[in-house]
Homo-oligomer: A and B are copies of this chain.
Amino acid sequence: MEFHGLKTDLYELTMAQIYLEKGLNKKAVFSIFVRNLPKERNFLVVGGLNNLLRDIFEFRFGKEELSYLKSLNLFKGWFLDWLEEFSFKGNIYAIPEGRIVFNEEPIVQIEAELPVAQILETFVMNRIHLGTLLASKAARIYSVAKGKILVDFGCRRAHGFEAANEAAYAALSTGWNATSNLEAGKIYGLPVSGTMAHSYIMVLGEENAFKEFYRHYSDKAIYLVDTYDVLKAVELTVKLAKEGYKPIGVRIDSGDIPTLVKKVRELLDRNGLQDIKIIVSGGIDEYKIHEWRDLPIDGYGIGTKFTTSSDRPYLDIAYKLVEYDGQPKFKLSEGKKTYPFKKQVYRFYSQGKFHYDFITRYGTEVEGEPLVEPVISEGILLKEFGGWKETRERFLKDFEHLPEDLKKLKKVEYEVQIDPILEPENYLPKGS
């Protein structure tokens, strides 16, 4: 049995011990949100939620975890006993995975006894941050690809296999076509695909390598054509296609892509091979895809720059106390102001597109579409969100309604209104 209880920072537990001893175990609400969208992102896509809901009930402390904590000589016996009994019995409110969100919107809100909600901080933040980071990057790539095939090739340089698997899931959740990552394929039931490596060509020689691949995987064969000379390899492909070894595509992984793909397309077409697709890989990201939008490229294998979210490898995400024992909690410090209370987000549409979002106190009824849903109540999961296919449906529906200028690479700000009743100045002690 693997428990997740140590997936946390030390201070969560040292603080929790004090909270409990002082009887500070009233209901607290913590909110996870992204304070500012970076200049490289016009929108975010909620990710990591299903993963969090799957694992939160395993955020517990078994024998090994407790014995480690005991060895630190920081925790009292009664506190370790309390941890032994720990399991999440609180409430979670969240915006479902796949939905498009913006700055300040409460992606996840944890409502529980203060020490419980505190202890979960690091775990919940890590899951939601990673999932949302990757889903948002994948969606941005999808938004410039305009229907071209997108395959995740980024497993090898992701920050560990946990990140690789979340990346593959994020890709399929936001409209991509497949991943090369087998473990992610197994865990999440994702479609997997792949081509061949340069080393394979170097060992078998180009002609043999292509023919053998076709013999084994006919309807899935994609020939890698840039090991030696792209045009010669495509001529070979034409010859083999005429002999019955016709691949579904060719892949180009290096070289002067704009020049090469035009020549390759022309060569294939001239030989009646209009249906052989051209796949490009190697250092691809949304900027390249946009730059090459008018070239005859049918799809991309996208690796490192996607799985590491390399242009922006982290989000300005926060987990902040917004309510304790019914009282508003907030921070006023410059650039780090937080709005108190458990919240709801309403979305307003105009002519079939998002018009603006409005954040208010949870429970306030407004006309728009509410985004926040209760998902766990007193430790009971209220709803099954399904897997990547359901997440993808939610994403594609939102994407259809996303204003067109937000789908571009140029920075555009979407309007997020904050209800004046959330302004922290309203709740300052009198006379301060």
List residues of A whose CB falls within 8 A of some B CB. Answer: 6-15, 17-19, 21-22, 24, 28, 30, 64-65, 68-69, 72, 74, 114, 118, 121-122, 125-126, 129-130, 133, 153, 155-164, 166, 180-183, 185-186, 192-200, 202-204, 212-213, 216-217, 220, 226-227, 254-255, 304-305, 308-310, 313-315, 317, 319-321, 324, 329, 331, 333-336
Contacts and interface: CB of A to CB of B under 8 A. Distances in A.
A392 to B, nearest CB: 21
Contacts of A204: 18, 22, 24
B336 A203 contact: no
Given A9-B182, A157-B125, A226-B333, A15 B314 contact: no
B122 A155 contact: yes
Nearest to A129: B157
Contacts of A319: 156
B314 A304 contact: yes
Contacts of A156: 9, 121-122, 125-126, 129, 319
A308 to B, nearest CB: 4
28 contacts: A6-B182, A6-B185, A7-B182, A9-B153, A9-B155, A9-B180, A10-B182, A10-B185, A12-B197, A21-B216, A24-B203, A28-B203, A64-B186, A65-B186, A74-B217, A122-B155, A125-B156, A156-B319, A157-B314, A160-B162, A161-B162, A162-B162, A163-B163, A199-B320, A202-B321, A254-B336, A255-B334, A308-B313
A305 B193 CA distance: 33
Contacts of A193: 10
A158 B126 contact: yes
Contacts of A182: 6-10, 13, 68-69
Given A182-B6, A203-B24, A217 B159 contact: no
B157 A126 contact: yes
Nearest to A15: B200
Contacts of A158: 126, 159
Nearest to A9: B180
Given A6-B183, A10-B182, A226-B333, 16 more contacts: A7-B182, A10-B185, A11-B194, A11-B195, A18-B213, A19-B200, A21-B216, A24-B204, A118-B200, A157-B317, A159-B308, A162-B163, A198-B321, A199-B329, A203-B324, A227-B331
A413 to B, nearest CB: 22
Contacts of A199: 30, 118, 320-321, 329
Given A197-B15, A314-B157, A7 B183 contact: yes
A248 to B, nearest CB: 14
A388 to B, nearest CB: 16
A341 B335 CA distance: 55
Contact of A181 (B9, B155, B321): B9
Given A15-B196, A194-B9, A68 B161 contact: no
Contacts of A161: 7, 126, 162
B68 A186 contact: yes
A212 B18 contact: yes
Contacts of A329: 199, 202-203
B254 A333 contact: yes
Contacts of A162: 159-163
A15 B204 CA distance: 11
